[in-house]
Amino acid sequence: MFDNINKLNRNQKFLLLAMIPFYFLIIAFFYDSPEQILLGLYNIIKEPDLLITDYMVVGGIGAAFVNASLLTLVSLFIVYMLDMDVDGHTVTACCLMFGFSLFGKNIINIWYILLGVWLYAIYHKAPLSKFIYIGLYGTSLSPIITQILQITTLSPVVKFLLSLFVGVLIGFILPPLSSHLYATHRGFSLYNVGFSAGIISTVIASIFKSFGIESQSRLIWSTGNNDTLFVALAVLFLTMILVGCSKDRRGIIGYLKILISSGVNAPDYLRRVGIRSTFINMGINGLVATLIVVMVGGDLNGPTIGGIFTIVGFSSTGKHLLNILPIMVGVYLASLVKVWDISDPAPLITCLMATTLAPIAGRFGFLAGVLAGFIHSSVALNIVSIYDGMNLYNNGFAGGIVASFLVPIINSFKDRKDRVEKVI
């Protein structure tokens, strides 16, 4: 069954991918009772979602997992109903939806943005399937919707209409903006929609401030759950690795092919080397990321599991062990000389999310990756203040800036070296 993605029928592919949210949906009820989960979901919906808001504190671990699982299953259902097939980008989108639904996206605040993307498709007489992944990624701006609904000086009707207008506008402008900005970093930052979302959130936050509407980033962060959450994650990732390695060596051979990929332009590993090799890559990256969080003294919670699943998701479209570790080493080295510790909440998330720059390490080598991670840590930890935590893909925005800044410089030195070698 797992030899090649093309040997599974469409229903089997979606069912296989749905096993991830189903796994956590079951686990949720080991943490909390149904009554506690329902109350937790209500708290998640009504609370502001600005960075960093850990739903495991706001609603409890059970409610956080249920919220994330439901949103992931809904996302899969939308893709399925659009008559699309599963590829690497489906895996990435669903893993990101799961991860960020642990600290920012909920079953209420994502819909206006998706509506805007749908209206954009109608306006251009194009199928929604062409833009749905941009829409799913674009829900990183969902905290803006919740924030508008929290404005106490406006009537409920005005808040509803304003949140609807802003959400639809965000969804409508995301596709053209993402397409345009891709040329800026040329595929060296994997979180392209995050780059676009950062610009949109900066503009919106600036407009809000002009009308006296200000918000502040927050820090709601759960601790003390490493033992049980580590087991839950380790079981999932080890299962992925075992499934990928089962039967014969083809899964491992395909994984070795992934390791020589640069990751530039988000290559679809699911199509290139098959599901078994991709599962090995996802499992290894997820397990290593989890171990890193624990080893540096960090906490496993909603935000860090979100970061881990960002790595896992992009392990089907660009990330592998050899191109993410240099970036993480760069962030870690930065923590030794800068004014923060790697186990602090924001730096720890940055260490995980900075792997958006994995293609730089994949194309230019280990030292270039370390440099990229070192620079990225400073940009990511300071840029969030521009839009007051309204963009969940903060590292996507920072990564786009760093890649746009660093890649031309690296290329200029590389071109000079190539010219000298040709002369010699």
Nearest-angstrom CA–CA distance, 424 and 417: 11
Q: What are phi and psi of 220, to 5 degrees?
A: -115, 115
Residue 328: per-residue pLDDT: 98
The conformational region for residue 154 under phi > 0 = left, psi -120 to 50 = alpha, else beta, is beta
For 152, residues 6+ apart whose C-beta sits below 8 A from its C-beta are none
Q: At what angle do helices 226-245 and 275-295 cross, to 10 degrees?
A: 150
Position 424 scores a pLDDT of: 54
What confidence tens digit (pLDDT) does each residue in 343-359 have?
999 999 999 999 999 99
Confidence (pLDDT) at 48: 86
Q: Is 419 exposed, middle or buried (0-12, 13-18, 19+ CB in 10 A)?
A: exposed
Q: Which amino acid is at 405?
A: F
**Which H helix or E strand runs over 50?**
none
| pLDDT for the residue numbered 416 | 61
pLDDT at 195: 95
Mean pLDDT of the chain: 93
pLDDT attached to residue 419? 52
Low-confidence ranges of the chain (pLDDT < 70): 1-6, 415-424
The CA dihedral of 260, 266, 271, 275, to the nearest 10 degrees, is 70
**Residue 418, pLDDT score:** 57
- Angle, in degrees to the nearest 10, between helices 226-245 and 250-259: 110
Q: What percent of the chain has pLDDT over 70?
A: 96
